[in-house]
Amino acid sequence: MEKFKKVKIAYIPLFLFILLFILDKIFLIKKIQLLTQKDATFLYYQYKEELIEELEKFYKNNKENKKILILLGSSRLMFIDYQDFKKNYPNWEMFNFSVPVNSPAFYLYILEKLLTKDVKPNLVVLESDPFQFNEYSPGFKKSNLPYTFDLPFVVKYFHLFERDEVSDFLGYLLFAGKKYPPDLYVLWNRIKNPNDKILTIFKYTEDYQRKNNGCGLAAIPFSEWYVRDLSEIEQSAMGTKKWLYSNYKESERQWTFFKKTLELLKNHQINYFVIKPQVSPIMEEELKKDQVIQNAYKRWKERIKQLVPENQWKDFSTSETFFCNTFVDGSHMSKECYDPMLYQVIYNYLNR
């Protein structure tokens, strides 16, 4: 009898683990995620898997034979107006896979997913910026790792992941509470106030991206509206500089992911165009003040030129045929600037 009791006691930790593992799955419920998460980043990443399925359906039932444009970038490409695009390019369909603070590893992951489904777009637009090749930029570890990759991708490119990143990835894969860590303060406030502004924006963002093929809800969704207070732009630029470019260390693995992305496009004969969206002149000046960042920029330009043909690349911050002078913050153009930028990309493709 005593031995039997000891056996039962020995199993208590296992039972507790199983119970916690089951309870942990509550954080996979979308309503719980909306109530417990502080920002909407996870919503954008979640929807991209769904968007892959939407693109596959469209591709296989494209009776009108429309050309397909895919956008792969950071938040700087998220806010292109899908409805305006449909009006301006009735013979095209656009699918926007851009997500906040992105990395080239994400590009490769999405394109491999599409090609396994035999989906070949007519044109892929890739954003490139030095911050994506900073080993300490937060996009890869804090966004791509928890929200993007699947196990086959991590296994295939195991040599490009650090061991602690693999451990974290497995943790995200197995435990929803790690992937979507609940903020109890946020939860309590949103339960008390069902009309919480942030919760309302979350729901609207979720609905908006589904209706607009992945395009994001712009912070200021009105044409001819922009931040007029230059001190706000300056403050935002300094914050972005500190966030994305600090402690700059060139990431060879992100260059490897980028090269593999370009090779994949070339091998499947898919047209592509690489762009650097314009940021505010104030931010450009802030970046110039830091010699480490300027060296990184110089190195980045050299490597881009080595990898991308001149007629498939445009830096809109130095373009003579495009200039945006209105911004919603230090690094994001106002809504009215996106259409002219996209026009130049489409024009280049049609007249290549």
For 298-321, give the secondary structure using H, E and C. HHHHHHHHHHCCHHHEEECCCCCC
CATH assignment at residue 237: 3.40.50.1110
**Structural domain contains residue 76:** yes
pLDDT band for position 63 (50/70/90)? confident
β 123-127/92-96 pair status = unpaired
pLDDT tens sequence across 71-103: 999 999 999 999 999 999 999 999 999 999 899
pLDDT at residue number 222? 61
pLDDT tens sequence across 25-44: 888 889 999 989 988 899 99
**Structural domain contains residue 35:** no
pLDDT band for position 225 (50/70/90)? low
Residue 312 has φ and ψ, to the nearest 5°, of -125, 25
- The mean pLDDT of the chain is 90
pLDDT tens sequence across 179-201: 999 888 888 888 888 788 888 88
CA distance 263 to 310: 16
Determine whether 66 is exposed, middle or buried from the number of CB atoms within 10 Å of its CB (0-12, 13-18, 19+): middle
pLDDT band for position 319 (50/70/90)? confident
Distance between first and last Cα of the chain: 84
CA distance 212 to 98: 13
pLDDT at residue number 184? 84
- What the block records as the tokens of 175 is 């435990």
pLDDT value at 14 more than 80:
no
Nearest to 191 by CA among 3, 18, 323, 32: 32
Neighbours of 199 (CB within 10 A): 17
Nearest to 122 by CA among 81, 77, 89, 83: 89
pLDDT tens sequence across 257-311: 999 999 999 999 999 999 999 999 999 999 999 999 999 999 999 999 999 999 9
pLDDT value at 1 more than 80:
no
**Structural domain contains residue 249:** yes
**Structural domain contains residue 303:** yes
Distance of CA 305 to the CA centre of its chain: 24
Q: Count up the domains in the chain and report the number.
A: 1
Model pTM score: 0.92
pLDDT value at 3 more than 80:
no
β 327-329/313-315 pair status = unpaired
pLDDT value at 49 more than 60:
yes
pLDDT band for position 15 (50/70/90)? low
pLDDT at residue number 285? 93
pLDDT at residue number 256? 98
Q: Phi-psi region for residue 269, left (φ > 0), alpha (ψ -120 to 50) or beta? A: left
**Structural domain contains residue 21:** no
**Structural domain contains residue 33:** no
Dihedral angle, C-alpha 133, 139, 141, 146, nearest 10 °: -140
CA distance 167 to 171: 6
Average pLDDT of the segment spanning 210-226: 78
- What the block records as the tokens of 27 is 């954080």
Q: Determine the structural domain holding residue 76 and report its residue range.
A: 66-181+215-350
pLDDT value at 117 more than 90:
yes
Average pLDDT of the segment spanning 155-173: 96
**Structural domain contains residue 286:** yes
% of the chain surpassing 90 pLDDT:
67
**Structural domain contains residue 221:** yes
Q: Are 106 and 71 in contact (CB under 8 A)?
A: no
